[in-house]
Amino acid sequence: MFDNVKVGIIGCGGMGSQHARNLAKIEGADLRALADVNLDAAERLKREVGGKYCTTDPQNLFYDEQIDLVLICTHHHLHLPFAVQAAEAGKDVFVEKPLALTIKECEQIESTVERTGVKLMVGFQARFSPFMKKLKQSVPNPLVIVGQMVDPRWGDDSWANDPIEGGGNVLSQGCHLLDAICWLADSEPVSIYAEGGNLTHPKIPEITDSIVSTIRFASGCVASAIIGDFGAPALVGKGFYELFGGDKTATLSGYYNTPAIKFWGIEPQTFTMDNLPAELRDGNAAHGYVGEMEALISWVRSGTDPMEAAKVGDGLKATKLAVKAIEAIKSQVPQELT
Ligand SMILES: NC(=O)c1ccc[n+]([C@@H]2O[C@H](COP(=O)([O-])OP(=O)(O)OC[C@H]3O[C@@H](n4cnc5c(N)ncnc54)[C@H](O)[C@@H]3O)[C@@H](O)[C@H]2O)c1
């Protein structure tokens, strides 16, 4: 068991800051280094959460023998180089989602992690949400899953819509839904078909912003995944999941604002914020961000495998599903995943 896990963060923007704030409250985690090309962002965060030093050069974290764990919270084109360099330096790694934007890049990270033997977690925090855990527990062997992750239209100039830095809505954000559906199905996806394409960003023809897809799992489970930034997600909200288990059904709606589960064939028939302990009744905890960092620190510190965490293979799987869905749209042919 380590005394304390010494952490370096690369990218001190929105997500890097949120993780830093959560880590600052976790016993056993010591924030050591904050790296950002924008030194002001790193220094601002250090003033807020602490830490030993700031740097504009992430390489300094890889050379720092004190650092055990590196969090990569940059835009997506930098996930591959930083994840590989961190693993080569013997650091355990947390990579924000998506693991990378192509199957090849994800495989490169996977082979580096396997060869170096470091731990790598991907930022699919929904797996630590008490709502998602309740959903999975309630319908453990779903026959059919319906999932939706829909946003109002993202700006053309948003970095996440940049084909290199972001990849567009399906690769950038849809990976959350694709990972969650695989986790809820508890089975390997074997094929995917999709329709959709570039419906809302004609000025950026390289990106895919919308898909309606069908996934088949080895267990026989089938899922429908709807992803995109094509409108206001009225009624059910941006994040929506419905699991049919034959004799029971569970529906989670409003995941990103007022999450609530309704059950059929299960008592009691609802699960809302009111069912959570007081300390979990905010978005940061309810969406799994707090539990994710706690599990990460415990994994690095004690070696206890956080079974629910997304590992490198899960990151690869989510990107593969998104990439294959895009190929299916172009080819009009279902894509095998094995
Ligand atoms: N899990 C979630 O719910 C969730 C939500 C939002 C974003 N994200 C993910 O978090 C990651 C970061 O997104 P964000 O919204 O925080 O972006 P952001 O733009 O707010 O922050 C990125 C930071 O990286 C810094 N940076 C850029 N190049 C760098 C380099 N070479 N070295 C060091 N720092 C560099 C930027 O200056 C910026 O401060 C992305 O992978 C994104 O998809 C995840």
The total of other beta-carbon atoms located within 10 Å of residue 314's CB is 18
Is 279 exposed, middle or buried (CB count within 10 Å of its CB: 0-12, 13-18, 19+)? exposed
In degrees and rounded to multiples of 5, residue 73 shows phi and psi of -125, 45
- CATH 3.40.50.720 occupies which residues in the chain? 5-124+292-310
No. of helices (H) and no. of strands (E), the chain? 11, 15
CA dist., res. 137 & res. 118, Å (int): 30
Q: Ligand 1: does its nearest atom lie under 6 Å from the Cβ of 12?
A: yes
- Dihedral sign from CA coordinates of 202, 205, 207, 208: positive
Q: What is the CA(99)–ligand 1 centre distance, in A?
A: 13
Q: Ligand 1: does its nearest atom lie under 6 Å from the Cβ of 76?
A: yes
Q: Ligand 1: does its nearest atom lie under 6 Å from the Cβ of 245?
A: no
Instruction: Give the class (CATH, top level) of 126-287+317-336.
Output: alpha beta
Q: What is the CA(76)–ligand 1 centre distance, in A?
A: 8
Query: Inter-axis angle of helices 39-49 and 14-24, to 10 degrees?
Result: 20
Which 8-state DSSP code applies to residue 219? Answer: T
Q: What is the CA(327)–ligand 1 centre distance, in A?
A: 27
Q: How far from 258 is each of 18, 136, 253, 279, 287, CA to CA, in Å?
A: 20, 19, 8, 16, 11
Q: Ligand 1: does its nearest atom lie under 6 Å from the Cβ of 38?
A: yes
Q: Which atom of ligand 1 is nearest to the CA of 15?
A: 16
Q: Ligand 1: does its nearest atom lie under 6 Å from the Cβ of 202?
A: no
Q: Ligand 1: does its nearest atom lie under 6 Å from the Cβ of 74?
A: yes
Q: Ligand 1 pocket check: which of 15, 82, 256 to mutate, most ligand atoms within 8 Å of Cβ? A: 15
Q: Are the C-beta atoms of 139 and 112 separated by less than 8 Å?
A: no
Q: Which amino acid is at 267?
A: E
- CATH 3.30.360.10 occupies which residues in the chain? 126-287+317-336
Q: Which 3 state secondary structure label does DSSP give 95?
A: strand
Q: What is the CA(96)–ligand 1 centre distance, in A?
A: 8
Q: Which atom of ligand 1 is nearest to the CA of 38?
A: 37
Q: Ligand 1: does its nearest atom lie under 6 Å from the Cβ of 318?
A: no
Looking at ligand 1, which residue's alpha carbon is closest to its atom 24? 11
Q: What is the CA(36)–ligand 1 centre distance, in A?
A: 10
User: Which listed CATH number (3.40.50.2000, 3.40.50.2300, 3.30.70.1230, 3.40.50.720) goes with 5-124+292-310?
Assistant: 3.40.50.720
Q: Ligand 1 pocket check: which of 22, 40, 74 to mutate, most ligand atoms within 8 Å of Cβ? A: 74
CA dist., res. 129 & res. 151, Å (int): 20
CA dist., res. 167 & res. 289, Å (int): 23
For residues 235-253, one letter each, b for 16 or more C-beta atoms within 10 angstroms of the residue's C-beta and e for the rest, the string is: ebbbbbbbbbbeeebbbbb
Q: Ligand 1: does its nearest atom lie under 6 Å from the Cβ of 123?
A: yes
Q: How far from 262 is each of 23, 156, 253, 267, 311, CA to CA, in Å?
A: 33, 36, 9, 10, 30
pTM flag (> 0.85):
yes
Q: Ligand 1: does its nearest atom lie under 6 Å from the Cβ of 287?
A: no
The pLDDT of residue 235 is 82
CA dist., res. 55 & res. 32, Å (int): 11
- What value, to the nearest 5°, has the Cα angle with vertex 125 and ends 245 and 246? 0
Q: Ligand 1: does its nearest atom lie under 6 Å from the Cβ of 15?
A: yes
What is the residue-level pLDDT of the chain in tens, covering all 338 positions? 558 999 999 999 999 999 999 999 999 999 999 999 999 999 999 999 999 999 999 999 999 999 999 999 999 999 999 999 999 999 999 999 999 999 999 999 999 999 999 999 999 999 999 999 999 999 999 999 999 999 999 999 999 999 999 999 999 999 999 999 999 999 999 999 999 999 999 999 999 999 999 999 999 999 999 999 999 888 888 999 999 999 999 999 999 888 999 999 999 999 999 999 998 999 899 999 999 999 999 999 998 899 999 999 999 999 999 999 999 999 999 999 98
Q: Which two tokens stand for residue 337?
A: 């995943």
Q: Ligand 1: does its nearest atom lie under 6 Å from the Cβ of 20?
A: no
Q: What is the CA(25)–ligand 1 centre distance, in A?
A: 21
